[in-house]
Structure 1
Amino acid sequence: MAALEWLTWRTAMERALYGENGFYRRGERPAEHFRTSVHASPRFAAAIARLLVEVDVLLGHPERLDVVDIGAGSGHLVSNILACAPADLVPRLVPTAVEIAPRPAEISPRIVWRPDLPDRITGLAVANEWLDNIPLDVVERTPDGVRTVLVDPSTGSERPGPVPSAEDRAWLDRWWPLREPGDRAEIGHPRCAAWASVIGRLSRGLALAVDYSHTRESRPVYGTLTGYRDGSTVPAVPDGSCDVTAHVALDACTTAGERAGATATLLTTQRDALRALGLTGTRPPLDLAHRDPRAYVAALCHAGEDAELTDPSGLGGFGWLAQTTNIPIPPPLTPGRDALHSGKPRC
């Protein structure tokens, strides 16, 4: 019988997701394993395209406008944003997909495909379900105190390990204190550092993180580690056979972003953000079915897609962390202010 290999969760996740032959390294397509807003409807990208228009106005229509899709998967989001952007804006756009998986053959040659973040970004950076895949450690309060959890990557079996590092304890004390034996936490400072690296590259513009999330007031007692494979939730076994994910402490990332240079911040829900961007889910009037049946069917489809994207118990419950550098938060996301846009997305 082979000996068990006990690793910290952070090491195990890193190997399982991004190591040689890891889940994402070998080019697995997210849509084949779990449903994201990007794959639920192109109207998600249309809403992001409206934000891009607002950012362009706030920046004064620069000669080069970046739109960076971080953790791009198969590139659907940045492709759809490019398709939805106003025609007069497209020539100035520099669309970039940040993804370690191989470039799909069908991706537009206009899209820059790279494995790491650009050095500087002027425009819009979007991290849709990226932070939840940044590997992290798990800790548990035991009768002997807080211990780092070790996992056997081949089975998912766990056992208590060493005392957390000073860095882990400092993050835990501030953001996720454990009170009772059996309580668990996912140490989020690697996500904070990853988000800070995005903000640090944002010369001027908006960075947006969209993800499963929670805040200090509502941390899940037993954590959120989950696996996904072939459209189903499966045990979080870090053997490379499935996606392994954990919800994001976006409030902690907010502070990290501000320390990295963010000058304005909005932390909200996808439901509220998309409604502010025009995805209301309102059904079209019945008389439209008689006046213009095709338009009625299209509007009805849009309403159904909007409803899924804004469902508070589903995708609408995702957290949206919007942080800017040297511009304000775009007006549509700020209640009580009028939109600035000079052109509308084509979608």
Structure 2
Amino acid sequence: MESLVSGWLTWRTAMERALYGEDGFYRRERPAEHFRTSVHASPRFAAAIARLLVEVDALLGRPDRLDIVDIGAGSGRLLGNILACVPPDLDARLVPTAVELAPRPADVPSRIAWRSDLPARITGLAVANEWLDNVPLDVVERTPEGVRTVLVEPVSGTERPGPPPSAEDTGWLEQWWPLSEPGDRAEIGHPRCAAWASVIGRLSAGLALAVDYSHSREARPVYGTLTGYRDGATVPAVPDGSCDVTAHVALDACLVAGRRAGATSSLLTTQREALRALGLSGTRPPLDLAHQDPRAYVAALCHAGEDAELTDPSGLGGFGWLTQSIEIPIPALLTRTG
């Protein structure tokens, strides 16, 4: 496969080949087979997104056509679950689109458009759930001789110091992830910023949402976050095409890039806070319900357990939620507290 070509590469080039090359990981595999996302943890994640979509629709004045775009759609399950949740009036006007490089699964509803690139224009809601963390990027490390771009041998994953980073890399690093001590590492996030800005740039009116592993400038991890996933387990990040290769996202930098691309309102919060605002409380049902309506009690208890997983601050609930909008404010439902 293309990703098995030997030789020293930058991490960005190695990731691009390993994940998206002709026989790359994401052209062969589905995310659900290797790691647990919110989409596959519970359909209640999609129900919360559907609730957000209803709010966006209202803020846009209920247009004749409303887009819902899933970027990095994987199996297409998120869109399928959203379609099962929206009210009939909205469903009749809804145009669902999956953006995904892998082939269309046979069980995806026929009304969902399947494409490999972003639509030219979007009016409605664009969702990028665990997409930005797979946008390839370079890795740098501070050495006694200064900051150097890290090179990797893709078959083995062995690393060595390379040349100094480019001016663009250095500028991003100084603003968003300064390195102070030899051995400190950073992942250069401007490709993620550019990818996110490309989403905002296609938003005619509506809201874009990025959900991902993230960190902020005040708490960047000293040695970076580059890792691999295969068959539900964490594995070394070897860019040979056999595993997912991912790194957490500097969503604060993406927020600024989104503003420069035209976003007029922004909110950066956690999945825990956002899903609670969208009605996923995780509250256990009253015990009396077990006697009054046993089936309803069991269903509510199941929902509470799923909500708890989705909002667990040490797991999925700790993900960052970046929402940015064009022509409308951030829905008030998301900005409420308590």
Match of 2:209 in 1: 208
Partner SS, residue 153 of structure 1: coil
- In structure 2, what residue type is equivalent to 1:10? R
Contact 2:215 2:249 in 1 (8 A): yes
Percent identity of paired positions between Structure 1 and Structure 2: 83
Aligned runs of 1:186-225 on 2, under 5 Å?
186-225=187-226
Shift of 1:83: 1.1
Answer yes or no: is 1:322 the counterpart of 2:323: yes
Answer yes or no: is 1:7 the counterpart of 2:32: no
- In structure 2, what residue type is equivalent to 1:282? T
Shift of 1:4: 5.1
CA displacement 1:24-69 (0-9 Å, x = unmatched): 112x111110000000000000000000000000000000000000
Answer yes or no: is 1:17 the counterpart of 2:26: no
Aligned runs of 1:1-347 on 2, under 5 Å?
5-26=7-28, 28-335=29-336
In 2: Cα distance, 1:315 partner to 1:250 partner? 16
In 1: Cα distance, 2:6 partner to 2:41 partner? 40
- Alignment gaps of 5+ in structure 2: none
- In structure 1, what residue type is equivalent to 2:26? Y
Aligned CA-pair RMSD: 1.2
- In structure 2, what residue type is equivalent to 1:225? L
- In structure 1, what residue type is equivalent to 2:276? R
Worse-superposed segment, 81-90 or 41-50: 81-90
Shift of 1:336: 6.4
Shift of 1:3: 10
In 1: Cα distance, 2:66 partner to 2:148 partner? 47
TM-score computed with the length of structure 1 as normaliser = 0.95
Shift of 1:145: 0.1
Worse-superposed segment, 252-261 or 77-86: 77-86
In 1: Cα distance, 2:243 partner to 2:291 partner? 49
Contact 2:277 2:337 in 1 (8 A): no
In 2: Cα distance, 1:212 partner to 1:3 partner? 30
Partner SS, residue 84 of structure 2: helix
Shift of 1:328: 0.3
Partner SS, residue 89 of structure 2: coil
CA change 1:293–1:97 in 2 (3 A) is same
CA displacement 1:121-178 (0-9 Å, x = unmatched): 0000000000000000000000000000000000100000000000000000000000
Partner SS, residue 198 of structure 1: helix
Q: How many residues align?
A: 335
In 2: Cα distance, 1:225 partner to 1:51 partner? 31
In 2: Cα distance, 1:297 partner to 1:155 partner? 49
In 1: Cα distance, 2:199 partner to 2:175 partner? 23
TM-score computed with the length of structure 2 as normaliser = 0.98
Shift of 1:335: 1.7
In 2: Cα distance, 1:160 partner to 1:227 partner? 21
Shift of 1:269: 0.1
Give runs of ≥4 in structure 1 deviating > 3 Å. Answer: none
In 2: Cα distance, 1:82 partner to 1:253 partner? 29
In 1: Cα distance, 2:36 partner to 2:248 partner? 15
- In structure 1, what residue type is equivalent to 2:223? Y
Partner SS, residue 199 of structure 1: helix
